[in-house]
Amino acid sequence: MQVIDLATMPLRDMNATLQAQGAETNQRAWEIANPRGAHAIAVGLDAPIAVRVAGSTGYYCAGMNQQAEITVTGSAGPGVAENMMSGKVVIEGDASQYAGATGHGGLLVIRGNAASRCGISMKGIDIVVEGNVGHMSAFMAQSGRLVVCGDAGDALGDSLYEARLYVRGSVRSLGADCIEKEMRAEHLAELEELLSAAGSDAVAGDFRRYGSARQLYHFNIDNAY
């Protein structure tokens, strides 16, 4: 295990060190000590390494991640795993706004709750939230899957494109063009797979599925108000 202490190493050096790891690196396990809410921790990584952040982070932890498996033992600030391309990010605590925003791939797991706009504009990422999500989650979500084991706030899936949403608890309200859809066998299967990948013991059969009604796909003045 390689340990980087952010109390002594500058953020720039920490990120440069992790970014320098290639596919062939034999230093595959890293710990970031004393993150103390710093922003932009472990961003832009692109190697099959495991990074454990021992504490809580500020904005954009694991931003644009590729390949790496990053675990935050505390909570994460806004925009965790934003624009992630691949790999896995696990937040043991809660996540602030915009978790997984615009993510293109990979798996984001949030053991606690996620605040508003979780999965906003997601483009292929899978997100599993074991707690609740705040309002406007999956706003303009394009593709990928958002799984909420708890409750969802107002305007879930507003202006949704092709992302698929699964919620076990209540949904305070659905956003424009977001509707409940039939849960078919293939959906149960993919949900079970997602829950398993996230290490969740939730039962797929307890969830409801939501998706786009596809009524906003072509501009229509009647939808403008």
CB 99 within 8 A of CB 120: no
Which of 31, 33, 37, 44 binds another protein (CB under 8 A)? It is 44
User: Is residue 34 involved in binding another protein (CB under 8 A)?
Assistant: no
Nearer to another protein among residue 59 and residue 166 (C-beta): 59
Q: Compute the distance between CA of residue 41 and CA of residue 57 in angstroms, rounded to an integer.
A: 7
Query: Minimal distance in Å, beta carbon 68 to another protein?
Result: 12
Which of 64, 183, 188, 213 binds another protein (CB under 8 A)? It is 64
Alpha-carbon dihedral angle through residues 15, 21, 27, 29, given to the nearest 10 degrees: 50
Which of 6, 32, 43, 146 binds another protein (CB under 8 A)? It is 43
User: Is residue 177 involved in binding another protein (CB under 8 A)?
Assistant: no
Concatenated DSSP letters for the chain?
-EEEETTTS-HHHHHHHHHT--TT-S--EEEEE--TT-SSTT-S-BSS-EEEEES-B-TTTTTT-BS-EEEESS-B-TTTTTT--SSEEEESS-B-TTTTTT--SSEEEESS-B-TTTTTT-EEEEEEESS-B-TTTTTT--EEEEEESS-B-TTBTTT--S-EEEESS-BS-B-TTEEEE---HHHHHHHHHHHHHHT----GGG-EEEEE---SSS--GGG--
Choices 53-61, 108-116, 145-153, 164-172; region in contact with another protein by CB under 8 A: 53-61
Choices 68-76, 172-180, 196-204, 213-221; region in contact with another protein by CB under 8 A: 213-221
Nearer to another protein among residue 141 and residue 174 (C-beta): 141
Which of 51, 52, 56, 63 binds another protein (CB under 8 A)? It is 63
Query: Minimal distance in Å, beta carbon 204 to another protein?
Result: 25
User: Is residue 210 involved in binding another protein (CB under 8 A)?
Assistant: no
Q: Per CB under 8 A, which of residues 82..121 are in contact with another protein?
A: 82-83, 85, 97-98, 101-102, 104, 117, 120-121
Instruction: Kindly report the backbone phi and psi dihedral angles of residue 39, in degrees, each rounded to the nearest multiple of 5, phi listed first.
Output: -85, 155
Can you give the binding site for another protein, defined by CB under 8 A?
Answer: 11-12, 15-16, 19, 39-40, 43-44, 46, 58-60, 63-64, 66, 78-79, 82-83, 85, 97-98, 101-102, 104, 117, 120-121, 123-124, 139-140, 142-143, 159, 161-162, 217-219, 221
